[in-house]
Structure 1
Amino acid sequence: MGIYGAINSAVSGLTAQATALENISGNVANSQTTGYKRLDTTFSDLVAGGGANQFQQVSGTTFATSRATNTVQGDITSVDVDTYMAINGEGYFVVTKAADVVDGSTTFAEETYYTRGGDFERDQEGYLINAAGYYLQGFPLDPITGNPVGDNPTVVLVDNQPLPASATTTVEYQANLPRVPQTNDYDGSIASALLDSGVTASADIPVADELAFLDSSISGGSITIYNDNGTAMNVEVRYAKIANADVGPPVVLDTWGMYINTDGDATNSWWHVGDADFTSSGALNSLTAGSIGAVNGTGDGFDIASLVIDGSTATNVEVTFSGGDLTQYSDPDGTASSVSLDQDGYPAGELTSVTVDEAGRVIANYSNSQRRAVYEIPLATFEAEQYLQRVDGAAFASTTSSGAADLSGGGQILSKKLELSNADIADEFSKLIITQQAYSANSKVVTSADEMLDDALNMVR
């Protein structure tokens, strides 16, 4: 091939180095692009014609191809945005693009894309969209079971619809009542620790008897519950000791009456929920129904069919002492100790924020302190991710060579994190120096070959 072959090889070298330069420039330009995967350059040789043995052959031309670095993870940095995410390990977020806006609502394209760019933020419609314009997809979660619904992810939408109120159905109650309650009436005698004799035991407390009742009873704590429409109702509990075993026969058990405030009832100031008997060891022995309470089916609490407080009504509320949570052990202070009340209701709430937890779930947070997991974010993996097709916005599309996306695996989603570009400027500049020198060397070969051709032509002259 001679001089012409040398020129041909040098020109192919110039073309290949130009491709390398193009990749380097693109990597440098995207060194700050979230989730960007750099393209490296691979050079391959094309053997020139010649003999069957290497000593009869000459060096051929070259060509350059781009080499994907999808499996090379970029650095992960912390951020202050609750909906930003990074992937630690393999996998891609499943995303799509907007197609159109119809009647003020966004419609979406059928194509699915994949990206490591996790800078998602909630837009005015409630969709999570990243800086490149891709909308996050996920599996909706069943509000009852919390399990994903369906096999195909849909666009994540967390709208501003308020969370409806939920009525209180159960109040979990824990307390230890003293053996001798130190009421306002207590003067050191056993009799003075009991409910005032002028107040009828095991019955609702009339307004006229309220002061005598308060002086001969102790506080049992308070809690706010909610009725069907989310109205808050303040439940204040008091206990009055009705009988003491130390008085002697025929009394064999300590007995306490449980009461709940009416907060404004014209006739009664306290409702009688029921009575609790305790053994000499301080364990709950039995419960007896009061005017508003019925002993529940398990015998460890009261069912209140209708509770009226300050004109508001809560229905079907269970006060439970399950697990031996109501006891009567000696207490030197003579007050109810270890008091704890917990209930399962809440008022209606407005959406306050959207976050992502470490399990990769989108969480809606409401003004009533409720949190709801609404979507599970899948990660797509591929058998041959180096064959994914690059598309605008640091995203990829699947191809027949990459295989279909598998949504059952992937790495770990990190909330309030971002994966940076895996292109390092220092490395790219080092490549740039080598590429520039190789390009200059190839151009020198062309120049030298041209001079040699001129010498050959001058020989003819």
Structure 2
Amino acid sequence: MDIFTALQTAVTGLKAQSYAIGNISGNIANSQTTGYKRVDTSFVDLIAEQTPKHEVAGTVMSQAQLTNSVQGNIAATSIPTNMAINGQGFFTVQQKTGDANGQPTFSGNNLYTRRGDFALDKDGYLANGAGAYLLGDNLDPISGQVTSSGPIKINNTTLPAKQTNAITYGANLPKVPITTASKAGDSTPYTAVAGAIITDPAAAAPATPLKVAKTTEAPAFLDKSIAGPALTVYTASGAPVSLSTRWAKVQDADATTTPATNAVWNLFYASSSSSAATASDWINVGAAFSFDASGKFVPPTDASVATTNADASVTIKIPDVTVDGADVGDLNLNLGANALTQYASSAGSVTTNTLTQDGYAAGTLNSVSVTPEGKIVGSFSNGSTIPVATVGIVHFMNPDGLKPDSGGNYEQTLDSGVPIAGLGGATIVGGNVEQSNTDIAGEFSKMIVTQQAYSANTRVMSTAQQMMSDLLNVIR
């Protein structure tokens, strides 16, 4: 290497350090940019000469080193639709290209970003601060099915009423119920007039609902039964109906028989919620609830009454429920595996462990939130919380291979690989954004080092120039 080559090498050093200071300045400038990923600088040496015993260092080349895989801090905001990815992954977005017939049009070219400061625009679409529109699946709040895939749009929709179809129930019935009659000394099972009870777990569903008639038979029933669960169910129009129930033990266990006789209970509901208990018919749900000596529930065996599911849960059909003249229709009473038991209880009353139903009145959308799984959930005025969209999240095998674009967006490249749908182990933090991963202190340190390196290269140039001047003076 001669003096002229040394000058050229120093020039490449100046260029490399100039490139580095440019990246440093960009990182500092974007230290407060949401979702920004800093650009580091790496240097590659090029050997000018390499012969045995004569190896000469050559020029240097600088290149960008992306930090797309480096997590930034997550900061809370007051906007529920803001999102931060905790882990690897990117939001899938598109740019808006214009409006046609009053509706926005989009580029169709997918971009990827960590910038999650999404908020609703005037049309109900989710767009971030850089103007990128979030993609995903829009869901039907009633069926939960995907209605469209593309830009997510949150409509101020009205949620139609849903008729109650199923009640999920779990409870413990006391081995010895404490009733009004038992307090007076009568602990015998309830025996209804006109055959309003079912004692055979293998019996088919009655052709017409069995009932304890009001006024004449209801007082005796109330004396020998205990309060069951009470809840609100909904008709097809969304009208709320108060459903009150009572449990009556209709058969005691008898271990002396062969086979042993199980304890049997019947469940009844009131045909009227507005009348006094004695002024209401009490309708038998149509099943015998049998319990063995250990207190384990033995499901009805007739298919017209109950279905035992693959997970060992039991579904009992309650036909044509009508309360206060309002037709609720058929209800499915879902009992989870081991959810209904008969264990000894000093209180002698029913202990309800689980009680939910799937109906609701009509409601309007009040607010939205984001779940860790990437679901956008709508909260409606009727108290329902239902997913309305799924956020489009992808991850890459080599996220640092993505091509940076303006607005915090990235484009897919051969180096990055194809986008893989799904969170891939990451989670979404709603009401938060990911901050820039730029460390100001670190950038200042790199700035000092870069400045010194740049100055050193200029010293090499001035030294080489002085050496050439000395050489020329010798020739003179």
TM-score between both structures, scaled by the size of structure 2: 0.73
Q: How does 1:208-219 map to 2 (within 5 A)?
A: 214-215=222-223, 217-219=225-227
Give the equivalent residue in structure 2 for 1:113. Answer: 111
Post-superposition offset of 1:391: 0.9
Alpha-carbon contact 1:163-1:349 (below 8 Å) kept: yes
1:191-270 mapped onto 2 (5 Å cutoff): 203-206=211-214, 214-215=222-223, 217-239=225-247, 258-261=267-270, 262-264=272-274, 269-270=280-281
Aligned to 1:249: none
Contact 1:378–1:407 (Cα < 8 Å) also in 2: yes
Q: Give 3-state SS (helix, strand or coil) of 1:350's partner.
A: strand
Contact 1:171 / 1:342 at 8 angstroms: preserved in 2? yes
1:155 aligns with 2:164: no
1:17 and 1:253 map into 2 onto residues whose CA distance is: 88
Aligned pairs for 1:129-148 within 5 A: 129-139=127-137
Q: 1:346-361, aligned counterparts within 5 Å?
A: 346-361=360-375
User: Does residue 1:127 correspond to 2:112, yes or no?
Assistant: no
CA contact (8 A) 2:226 2:246 kept: yes
| SS across alignment from 1:345 | coil
Q: Distance in 2 between matches of 1:111 and 1:258?
A: 60
SS at match of 2:280: strand
Displacement, 1:12? 4.0
* Contact 1:95 1:115 (8 Å CA) reproduced: yes
Structure 1 residue aligned with 2:24: 24
Asked if the contact 2:41/2:62 (under 8 Å) is kept, the reply is yes
Preserved CA contact (<8 Å) 1:305 1:315: yes
Deviation per residue, 1:271-328 (Å, 9 max, x gap): 32257486895777898x9xxxx96255987644432223321112234667676666
Q: Higher mean Cα deviation, 65-74 or 26-35?
A: 65-74
Quote how far apart the aligned CAs of 1:236 are.
0.6
AA in 1 matched with 2:228: G
Unaligned segments of structure 2, at least 5 residues: 198-209, 255-260, 309-313
The number of residue pairs the alignment matches comes to 445
**Aligned-partner Cα distance in 2 for 1:386–1:106:** 32
Deviation at 1:68, TM superposition (A): 2.2
- Give yes or no for contact 2:35–2:72 (8 Å, CA) kept in 1: no
Q: Distance in 2 between matches of 1:32 and 1:170?
A: 51
DSSP-derived class of the 2:442 partner: helix
SS in 2 for 1:166: coil
Distance change >3 Å, CA 265–CA 304, structure 1 → 2: farther
Residue 92 (str. 1) matches residue 107 (str. 2):
no
Q: By how many angstroms is 1:47 displaced? A: 6.5
Identity percentage over the alignment? 35
Q: What's the offset of the Cα at 1:449? A: 6.0
Indicate yes or no: 2:84 matched with 1:73. no
Match in the other structure for 1:397:
411
The answer as to whether partners of 1:95 and 1:112 remain within 8 angstroms in 2 is: yes
- Which structure would you say has the larger Rg? 1
Cα displacement (A) at 1:14: 3.3
Q: Is the deviation greater in 140-149 or in 336-345?
A: 140-149
Task: Kindly provide the CA deviation profile for residues 16-64 of structure 1, in whole angstroms up to 9, marking residues without a partner as x.
Answer: 332222111101111232332222233455667xx8858889765x464
Structure 1 residues 12, 228: closer, same or farther in 2, change over 3 A? same
User: 1:296 matched to which residue of 2?
Assistant: 305
TM-score scaled to structure 1, two decimals? 0.75
Q: 1:188 to 1:66 in 2, by over 3 A?
A: same
RMSD, matched Cα: 4.7
Secondary structure class of the residue paired with 2:162: coil
Q: CA deviation at 1:370?
A: 3.1
Q: Deviations over 1:393-435 (max 9, x none)?
A: 2221123554443436745124245443332222211221122
CA distance in 2, matches of 1:438, 1:326: 77
Aligned to 2:444: 429
**Match for 2:19: what amino acid?**
T
Shift of 1:234: 0.5
Whole-angstrom distance in 1 between the partners of 2:442 and 2:468? 40
Q: Residue 315 in 1 paired to residue 323 in 2?
A: no
